[in-house]
Amino acid sequence: MDKPNRQIKITFDDNRNQRKENEFKKAEEEIAATAEREINNDDILFASDPSNKDNANYLRNVLKNKSNRNKKFIVIPKHFFFPIALALFIGISLGVIILKMFSTTGQTEDVPVNGNGTPAVVDQGDEEEDPPNTKSPVTSDLPSLAVNIIQIGVYSSQAKADEIIQEVKNNGLVAASLENEGLFYVFVGVTSTKDQAMALSSNYSSANEEDPYVKEFVMKGGTFSSTDSNKVALVENAAKEYSELVLLTSAALTTGSFDEKKWSEVKEMITSLEGIASSIETLTSEEKTFVTNVINAGKSFNEYKESGQASHLWASEQHLLNALTVYGLLFK
C-alpha cells in the first residue's frame, strides 16, 4: 500500500509586508492631516507604536517650521503711535467722566423726618452761615411841631367829622381831622401865634354852627429811622421847612406881608425836597403824605407870591393842616 504523499508547503505572504507598509503610510498621513488642522503643536496626535516616534518628531518639526513661515507680523509705522496713544487716553478719560456722572446723578440723599412727617433739622456742627447783607439803620430825632390851631369840634366818629369838614370846605375854607384815642378833632386853621389864630377864627363864626376856639397845640416829635439815608434826610428837612411855611403863610393871611428873605431860603429848600422825593420809591403812605403836603404848601405859597391871589394862601393852609395830622404817624 502506497503511503500518502504528504507535503508541507510553506508560503511567504509578501502582501503582509506590503499591508504593514501601507498601514504605516496611512498612519503618517492621518497624523499629518491632524497636525495641519491644529495650530497648537501640543495637539498633534502621535501613533501608539513606539517605532513611529522618530517619524512623528520629524513631522512635528516640519509642521512647526511651516507654521512659523505662515505667520505674518503687523508693523505699525512710528508716526501712528502718538495719535493712537492720544485717542486711547481721551477715550478712557471720557469714559471715566461719563461713568462718574451717571453714578452721581443716580444717587439720592435721605432726608431725616420727624414723627409727624415733616423734615427734621439737621445739626451742621460748627458750620457758619454767611450773615445777611443788611444795612445799619440811620436815625434822626425829629422836632416837635408847636403851633396854634383853630378847632371847631370833637366827634365820636370819622363819618361825623368828615361831614363837618365837607361843610366847611363848601364855604371856601379849609379843614382837616385828627384822631386821638377814638375821638376825631376837626381843625380849620394853623398859625404861628395865638393872635394870628384869633384873627383867622372870625372867618368861621358865620360859616359853621360850631363856635371855633383857639388853642396851643404841640405835635410831638420822635426818632425817625430808616436804612435809606436819603429818606431820613428828606423827612428831617421837610419837618424843618414845615414850621417856616406856617410862619410865612399865617403872616401873609393876617397881615398881607411876609419875610422875603426867609421865603427865598424856603423856596430853594422846597425845590431840593421835591428832587429828593422823586428819587425815592420806598416811602410809606404816611411819609409820602407828610412830605408831599409840605412841598405842595411851598408851591401854593409861591403861586401866591407870583399872583397875589389869597386863594393860594388858603391852599397852602390846607396842605399844612394835612401834614400836621399825619406827622405823629411817622414814629409809630
Of 45-59, 182-196, 201-215, least confident by mean pLDDT is 45-59
pLDDT digits (tens, 9 = 90+) for 103-116: 655 554 555 555 55
Q: Residue 84's pLDDT is what?
A: 78
Q: Residue 98's pLDDT is what?
A: 81
Residue 3 pLDDT more than 50? no
Residue 102 pLDDT more than 80? no
Task: Give the model's confidence band at 158: pLDDT under 50 very low, under 70 low, under 90 confident, else very high.
Answer: very high
CB 190 within 8 A of CB 320: yes
Q: Residue 47's pLDDT is what?
A: 43
Q: What is the mean pLDDT of residues 167-171?
A: 90
Q: Residue 96's pLDDT is what?
A: 75
Rounded distance, CA 242 to CA 291, Å? 9
Residue 144's CB: how many other CB atoms inside 10 A?
Answer: 13
CB 193 within 8 A of CB 250: yes
Q: What is the mean pLDDT of residues 168-180?
A: 93
Question: What is the SS3 assignment for the chain?
Answer: CCCCCCCCCCCCCHHHHHHHHHHHHHHHHHHHHHHHHCCCHHHCCCCCCHHHHHHHHHHHHHHHHHHHHHCCCCCCCHHHHHHHHHHHHHHHHHHHHHHHHHHHHCCCCCCCECCCCCECCCCCCCCCCCCCCCCCCEEEEECCEEEEEEEEEEECCHHHHHHHHHHHHHCCCCCEEEEECCEEEEEEEEECCHHHHHHHHHHHHCCCCCCCEEEEEEECCEEEEECCHHHHHHHHHHHHHHHHHHHHHHHHHHHCCCCHHHHHHHHHHHHHHHHHHHCCCCCCHHHHHHHHHHHHHHHHHHHHHHHCCHHHHHHHHHHHHHHHHHHHHHHC
Q: How large a percentage of the chain has pLDDT more than 90? A: 52
Q: Residue 22's pLDDT is what?
A: 62
Q: What is the mean pLDDT of residues 176-188?
A: 94
The distance of Cα 168 from the centroid of its chain, to the nearest Å, equals 53
Distances (CA, A) of 117 to 109, 110, 111, 124: 16, 13, 11, 21
Rounded distance, CA 294 to CA 290, Å? 6
Q: What is the mean pLDDT of residues 189-213?
A: 84
Q: What is the mean pLDDT of residues 182-201?
A: 95
Q: Residue 149's pLDDT is what?
A: 97
Q: Residue 76's pLDDT is what?
A: 58
Q: Residue 36's pLDDT is what?
A: 53
Domain chopping of the chain, boundaries:
20-66, 141-331
The pTM of the full predicted model, rounded to 2 decimals, is 0.60
Q: Residue 209's pLDDT is what?
A: 57
pLDDT digits (tens, 9 = 90+) for 225-266: 999 999 999 999 999 999 999 999 999 999 999 999 999 999
Q: Residue 88's pLDDT is what?
A: 79
What value does the mean pLDDT of the chain take? 79
Q: Residue 97's pLDDT is what?
A: 82
Residue 258's CB: how many other CB atoms inside 10 A?
Answer: 19
Which strands make up the sheet holding 176-180, listed edge to edge? 176-180, 183-191, 145-155, 213-219
Q: What is the CATH number of domain 141-331?
A: 3.30.70.1070
